[in-house]
Amino acid sequence: MNISAANDIDGAPAARLSVDGLRTPVIGPCALTLAPGECVVLTGSSGSGKSLLLRAICDLDPATGTVLLEGRARETYVPRDWRRAVALLPAEPAWWAETVGEHLLTTSEDVLSALGFSASVMSWEVARASSGERQRLALARLLQLQPRVLLLDEPTANLDAGNRARVESVVRDYLVSRAAAALWVTHDAEQAARIGDRELVMRAGRLEANACT
């Protein structure tokens, strides 16, 4: 679907993701929308509930409220399909197979290269990868699902400036080429200004728009 096809009858961009009244025992009620191609940064102090919000949106934690993808309710999806379409990159991704290649079955060499790897990374044992390498490999693994929405929990927390720029570029290219949307958690104000179209701030489990963005 291209962006124009996603427009509603008034010509305004239709929400790729629409969240309303989302509530768990710890967070909410929270409301937000992500437009096609949009990158919204989510900031807020440690423990304010950012990771829990991402987990609630992608249905890893039970939550009440409404979550729609392109107008379709989350409840109408098979859970596995929902988590592929609205995909979470956790701060500490899990690895269940021994080698990198077993996780990246359909990842292109172009994506690996853009993230700073040669094709030989496929034969690596996951255990030898550094935390920053694992963080970039986990992004490659996520993108091969071709999600409509990326939920990114501090995806550059372990990275140097060069690799941080690689990740920002890969995500931005993905959002543009697929008209996908991202909710990107960061504690880095400079990164928030660089990558965010808008900023939301989590305070004690509630979402607020940052009036400065």
- Please give the residue ranges that form the binding site for ligand ATP (CB under 6 A): 26, 44, 46-52, 202
Judged by beta carbon, residue 26 or residue 209, the one nearer ligand ATP is 26
Shortest gap between Cβ of 154 and ligand ATP (angstroms)? 7
Judged by beta carbon, residue 144 or residue 158, the one nearer ligand ATP is 158
Judged by beta carbon, residue 13 or residue 29, the one nearer ligand ATP is 29
Cα separation, 40 vs 20, whole angstroms: 16
Shortest gap between Cβ of 161 and ligand ATP (angstroms)? 21
Shortest gap between Cβ of 55 and ligand ATP (angstroms)? 8
Shortest gap between Cβ of 91 and ligand ATP (angstroms)? 6
Judged by beta carbon, residue 44 or residue 147, the one nearer ligand ATP is 44
Shortest gap between Cβ of 123 and ligand ATP (angstroms)? 33
Query: What is the 3-class SS of the chain, one letter each residue?
Result: CCCHHHECCCCCECCCEEEEEEECCCCCCEEEEECCCCEEEEECCCCCCHHHHHHHHCCCCCCEEEEEECCEEHHHCCHHHHHHHEEEECCCCCCCCCEHHHHCCCCCHHHHHHCCCCHHHHHCEHHHCCHHHHHHHHHHHHHCCCCCEEEEECCCCCCCHHHHHHHHHHHHHHHHHHCCEEEEECCCHHHHHHHCCEEEEEECCEEEECCCC
Judged by beta carbon, residue 46 or residue 123, the one nearer ligand ATP is 46
